[in-house]
Amino acid sequence: MAYFTLMASVGEPALDAFRRALDTLLQPTLVSGASHLLGYRVSAQPLGRLLAEAVDGGELLHVELWHPLRPPMFHRPPRVRALADEIRAAWEVARAELPDKDGWLASEVGRLLGVYRHAAAAGECIVTALDHPGDEARARRVRIPWETPSTGKAHKPWWKVW
């Protein structure tokens, strides 16, 4: 199963406060997302490695946050700036060589770069969290750090919205 990776641009002081007190909510200045597969389906290097780091790398946000695949992670502003620049440069080199008949790859990379560029320009962190799983029991245990915790009803997975 592929998850949707949610990416939020968040000020560093707010992120540090959240890490000390989980009873708060992060207040992102921008939220976007891309397929979690983005980090693992691109064979061209260094682009594939950079995308994997952008969607799955960084530091653990908080030990008490859970997801069946991986918990929420974050990158601090210096790494956000570096990833934004390195991914943009690697994408420019690789895009002509990579097959993308339906535009999926360009769309996914575009959304990822959009939030990373925003955070880099604002001097903010990037927080990544995987969307809720499809089954209600595990979905109830997942907390997206900028959403109000669930009241017992599972969130509808993004692919079931339509």
Contact between 15 and 127 under an 8 Å Cβ cutoff? The reply is: yes
Contact between 95 and 120 under an 8 Å Cβ cutoff? The reply is: no
Grouping H, G, I as helix, E, B as strand and the rest as coil, residue 49 is helix
Along the 162 residues of the chain, how does pLDDT read in single tens digits? 578 999 999 999 999 999 999 888 999 999 999 999 988 888 899 999 999 999 999 999 999 999 999 999 999 999 999 999 999 999 999 988 888 777 889 999 999 999 999 999 999 999 999 999 888 899 989 999 998 765 444 455 555 544
pLDDT on residue 79: 98
**Domains of the chain by range and CATH?**
4-160 (3.40.1760)
Alpha-carbon gap, residue 87 to 76, rounded angstroms: 16
H helices present in the chain, as ranges: 12-20, 47-56, 77-94, 104-122, 136-139
Q: In what order do the strands lie in the sheet with 125-130?
A: 30-35, 4-10, 125-130, 73-75, 59-60
pLDDT on residue 152: 42
Give residues with Cβ within 8 angstroms of 37, minimum separation 6: 2
pLDDT on residue 151: 47
